[in-house]
A and B are shown apart, each in its own frame.
Chain A
Amino acid sequence: GESVGLHLPTLSVQEGDNSIINCAYSNSASDYFIWYKQESGKGPQFIIDIRSNMDKRQGQRVTVLLNKTVKHLSLQIAATQPGDSAVYFCAENTGGGNKLTFGTGTQLKVEL
């Protein structure tokens, strides 16, 4: 994925609001997508996944939307909490095996 160096895109939301994090993926042949949450000093943590034969999937407080036409993925977090503050990455399986290609992360900051 493209890197933005030390300046990650940042999304600031108020506690209790809904958050929407967007991701544009690169490979139209990708058939499996995952959202990861990464807290400082930790490894990426699985949040939710979606396969290309779906356009929406819901989890607990999270929803992933997939628009294959424009190669766009979004993560919606309902009732955002301070513990949701982290960097969020989308990742795509670029066909064959389980190798994942990560997109540019988004820093989510939750303000009290």
Chain B
Amino acid sequence: AAGVIQSPRHLIKEKRETATLKCYPIPRHDTVYWYQQGPGQDPQFLISFYEKMQSDKGSIPDRFSAQQFSDYHSELNMSSLELGDSALYFCASSPSKGTGESPLHFGNGTRLTVT
């Protein structure tokens, strides 16, 4: 079965640079979520989109922004990168139109390293 696809798998950037992470949800899933996971930590919710509109917002820094496109893929844009932004970034998708009735399906993440 098709899964959530994230690209790139690994990304190395320097401080103050920008980065763009991409997420392709499972076909017919209309909701995408972004999570950040530091080493040995639990995933922290950043932001979610349903039908191209932001549906919920978590602990996403102002330096980050995201959007969902007409084909439902999503991009997380990160600017003025800091060392503390080094983490795994996961995208997840679900088909439930944000009603809390089905689990999120996660991609394998993008490992961002800021040097």
The answer to whether B56 touches A99, judged by C-beta atoms less than 8 angstroms apart, is yes
Residue B61 interfacial (CB < 8 Å): no
Q: Find out whether the CB atom of A45 lies under 8 angstroms from the CB atom of B45.
A: no
The answer to the question of A97 belonging to the interface, with a C-beta cut-off of 8 Å to chain B, is yes
Closest 9 CB pairs of A and B: A43-B106, A102-B42, A6-B40, A97-B98, A3-B41, A46-B103, A1-B42, A93-B100, A44-B106
B55-111 residues with Cβ-Cβ distance < 8 A to A are 55-56, 58, 90, 92, 94, 96, 98-109
B-facing residues in A46-94 (Cβ within 8 Å): 46, 49, 89, 93
Residues of A within 8 A of B106 (CB): 36, 43-45
Asked whether A98 and B108 contact (CB < 8 A) given A5-B40, A43-B4, A44-B43, the answer is no
User: A43 and B56: CB pair below 8 A?
Assistant: no
A42 to B6, CA, bound (A): 11
Which secondary structure dominates chain B's binding surface?
Answer: loop
Q: Are A99 and B33 in contact (CB under 8 A)?
A: yes
Q: Which residues of A contact B (CB under 8 A)?
A: 1, 3-8, 31-32, 34, 36, 41-46, 49, 89, 93, 95-105
Q: Contacts A43-B4, A45-B106 known; A32 to B100 CB distance under 8 Å?
A: yes
Q: List 29 A-B contacts (CB under 8 A).
A: A3-B38, A3-B41, A3-B42, A6-B39, A6-B40, A8-B40, A32-B101, A36-B106, A43-B4, A43-B107, A44-B90, A44-B106, A49-B103, A89-B43, A96-B56, A96-B100, A97-B48, A97-B98, A97-B99, A98-B33, A98-B48, A98-B104, A99-B33, A100-B45, A100-B104, A101-B45, A102-B44, A103-B42, A105-B42
Distance in angstroms between the alpha carbons of A97 and B30 in the assembled complex: 12
